[in-house]
Copies of this chain bind each other. A is one copy, B any other.
Amino acid sequence: MMYYLFNENIVRASDALVPVTDLALLRGYGIFDFFRLIGHKPLFIDDHVDRFFRSASKLRLQCPLSGPELISSIMEMLQRNRIKDSGVRLVLTGGPSPNGYSIGQPTLFAINEPITPLPESHFSEGIKIITCEYLRDIPEVKTINYLMGIYKMPEIQAADALDVLFHWKGMISELTRSNFYIVNQEGAIVTPATGILEGITRKKVLGLAADFFTVDARPLHLDEVYAAKEAFITGTTKKVMPVVNINGHLIGNGKPGTTTRKLQFLFQEYIEDFLGGH
């Protein structure tokens, strides 16, 4: 049996139930965060909980638990579930609304869910993605709005792609659930700096990259992407994942490049150090 955190209590998963008047159900209003466990150890939980509270504050949602209380409740949930290599999804919604529009007393929950590992070939051979012209609402906040990404799923699947890269008039932002980067012909890593969610993996990877490469966080156009030597994405489950095909255009020679592979190695090493140190 699985246990979830629901408001201030650890409850059986089947008892974690939200009233139909919740503003997430009526108006899609809420924020979340997601981190994974390696073995039983949570990865970068402090960064994720910090961002969760920053997102909450931007949307004027008061979390019923403080940061330390939230972490200790999550640890208690994990203790009860004991699933290795799983993910934890924290959600805070607008809560039951008195009139179907104004914010109520927020509902907090944390789900502990198994992660289906992505195929090894995604990491070793790279993935295909497609693009979509779309401006995200409040991109700097990790809201629950994934309407467009899910709406586009049939198109993504028809193209045998993994996900969709958003751009606006050719200016790249990010994928539905990952940040995006290229390595240009000069060998610099270029990644959009604004209009994106600042990923926890992005922060770690850019930190590691800075010791070896030029990192340029600035506006990035689709034309520059097609002309790149390499492209890759980062995210909690994607880690560092090569992108070798965008809308049917091969990136570089269509194989993961040396910079991407170096970053995969550096990030893997960083995670091992992080876990070893805990």
Residues of A within 8 A of B (CB): 4, 6, 13-14, 16-30, 32, 59-60, 89, 91, 93-94, 99-103, 109, 111, 113, 116, 134-135, 137-138, 143-148, 150-151, 153-154
Contacts and interface: CB of A to CB of B under 8 A. Distances in A.
A23 B146 CA distance: 10
B147 A25 contact: no
A147 B151 contact: no
Given A89-B100, A143-B147, A109 B20 contact: yes
Contacts of A135: 135
A10 to B, nearest CB: 13
Contacts of A99: 113, 116
A137 B93 CA distance: 20
Nearest to A103: B150
Given A27-B144, A28-B143, A89-B100, A20 B17 contact: yes
A18 B25 contact: yes
Nearest to A102: B153
Contact of A20 (B16, B27, B103): B16
A32 B20 CA distance: 12
Q: Which 8 pairs across A and B sit closest by C-beta, in order of nearness?
A: A28-B28, A17-B17, A27-B146, A28-B144, A16-B20, A28-B145, A20-B109, A24-B25
- Copies per assembly: 2
B29 A147 contact: yes
Nearest to A115: B99
Nearest to A4: B20
Contact of A150 (B6, B94, B146): B94
A102 B152 CA distance: 11
Contact of A91 (B20, B91, B101): B20
A116 to B, nearest CB: 7
Contact of A144 (B18, B25, B154): B25
B23 A25 contact: no
A85 B103 CA distance: 24
B18 A20 contact: yes
B144 A148 contact: no
A26 B28 CA distance: 9
A26 B147 contact: no
A228 to B, nearest CB: 28
B146 A101 contact: yes
A32 B147 CA distance: 14
Given A147-B145, A148-B138, A30 B19 contact: no
Contacts of A29: 28, 146-147, 150
A28 B59 contact: no
A150 B141 CA distance: 14
